[in-house]
Amino acid sequence: MGARTARSERCVRRVVVSDTGPLLHLTEAASIHLLEPIGEVHIPRMVDQEMRHHEASWSSTKPHWIKLTPLVEPHATEAQAWHQAGLLDAGEAEAIALARQLRADWLLTDDAAARLLAGSLGLEAHGSLGVVLWAAAIRHLTRVEAEAALDDLANSSLWISACVLAEAKAALDQLFS
């Protein structure tokens, strides 16, 4: 990626919706701050509840720039239907429905089923690794910081295969060549 592309990428402010996975994994990896420069970050009620369950301090440490955004109809019913059908857990279902409601630029999820459904609905989905690679691409992170962030994610509750981690580090080699 050239310097011109990286500079123009920094100026783009996106509407982003996250499910619990990326918030949890980036928090565990001390990299939650990487979400702020992306743009407006929204979460539905169930994701906030799940984060409070997984991270006892979430209520007091949740970044101020993460917006708790309620679902409205018909999106609330849509989320409930996906969850009741067993397609997704409640947080993922609400996140996808909220992404549709807000016409989000990105959905953040580390769940394969959520990615598949999001893709079938025309949503652009990225995961925790993608957030780190994006931050490196726009030079929000140095090469060393990005590799450390990837290692920290590998040591979080996010399961990353050795092959996927190697591919992410190879992508850093290309970004910084």
Which residue's entry shows tokens 């993608």? 130
The pLDDT of residue 12: 74
SS (H, E, C) 46-81: HHHHHHHHHCCCHHHHCCCCEEECCCCCCHHHHHHH
Assess whether 138 and 63 both reside in one domain. Answer: no
Banded model confidence at residue 104, pLDDT cuts 50, 70, 90:
very high
Using the predicted structure, report yes or no on whether residue 7 has a pLDDT greater than 90.
no
Assess whether 123 and 136 both reside in one domain. Answer: no
Assess whether 115 and 153 both reside in one domain. Answer: no
Using the predicted structure, report yes or no on whether residue 11 has a pLDDT greater than 90.
no
Euclidean distance between CA atoms 108 and 39, whole angstroms: 13
Using the predicted structure, report yes or no on whether residue 4 has a pLDDT greater than 70.
no
Q: What is the pLDDT of residues 120-151, one digit of tens each?
A: 999 999 999 999 999 999 999 999 999 999 99
Euclidean distance between CA atoms 175 and 177, whole angstroms: 6
Mean pLDDT of 82-106: 96
Q: Which domain does 91 fall in, by range?
A: 3-127
Assess whether 118 and 146 both reside in one domain. Answer: no
Assess whether 117 and 135 both reside in one domain. Answer: no
Tokens of 6: 């990286």
Say how many domains are in the chain.
2
Strand partners, 42: 17, 67
Q: What is the pLDDT of residues 48-58, one digit of tens each?
A: 999 999 999 99
The pTM of this model reads 0.90
Assess whether 109 and 159 both reside in one domain. Answer: no
